[in-house]
Amino acid sequence: MDEIITSTQQEGLGTVRITDDVVAIIAGLAAIEVEGVASMSGGFAGGIAEALGMKNLSKGVKVEVTEKEAIINLFIIVEYGVRIPEVAWNIQNNVKKAVESMTGLNVTEVNIHVQGINLAKESKKSNPQKTEEQKIDEEAEKSEE
């Protein structure tokens, strides 16, 4: 995201400027707080940043900010088994509340784009990893038979 200042508010003591990046970070953090969200989907650039050890707090977030309004698009990965419409609704409410309360902007849209499902928890349930101790115990039981 660019460093162009998109939101400017005149106050008695001066000007308050909020960049798109700040709005995107607030939205991203508010989204991942919602139960059922596995992660944000950042695409190729986000993957490179993570591979280099950089935490991209605006990963999976695109914002359009005017002087007083914001439109937010979130690209998410949900946990397997959750009710996707309910998770999306919770994200929309949480993001809208966080951005509006922290920036004073009017959030007109929070669009949710579900990009995938995280199967990690489900696969652990159906195929749990055995510890070395469990494997040794099983081998001992087999040899006793």
- Name 64's bridge partners: 71
How far apart are alpha carbons 92 and 49 in whole angstroms? 26
Q: Which residues of 99-115 are buried (b: 16+ CB within 10 A; e: fewer)?
A: beeebebebeebebebb
For residue 91, give both structure tokens: 């994200």
pTM above 0.95, yes or no: no
- Residues 102, 107, 38, 76, CA torsion sign: negative
pLDDT in tens, 22-74: 999 999 999 999 999 999 987 544 444 455 454 678 889 999 998 899 999 99
Give the N- to C-terminal CA distance of the chain in Å, as an integer. 65
Could you tell me the residue ranges of all domains in the chain?
5-119
Kindly calculate the radius of gyration of the chain based on its CA atoms and give it in whole angstroms: 21
pLDDT in tens, 2-16: 444 556 566 678 888
Percent of the chain with pLDDT over 90: 53
Q: Which CATH architecture has domain 5-119?
A: 2-Layer Sandwich (3.30)
- Name 16's bridge partners: 9
Residue 77 CB neighbours (<10 A): 15
Instruction: Map residue 39 onto helix, strand or coil.
Output: strand
The phi and psi torsions of 144 (rounded to 5 degrees) equal -75, -25
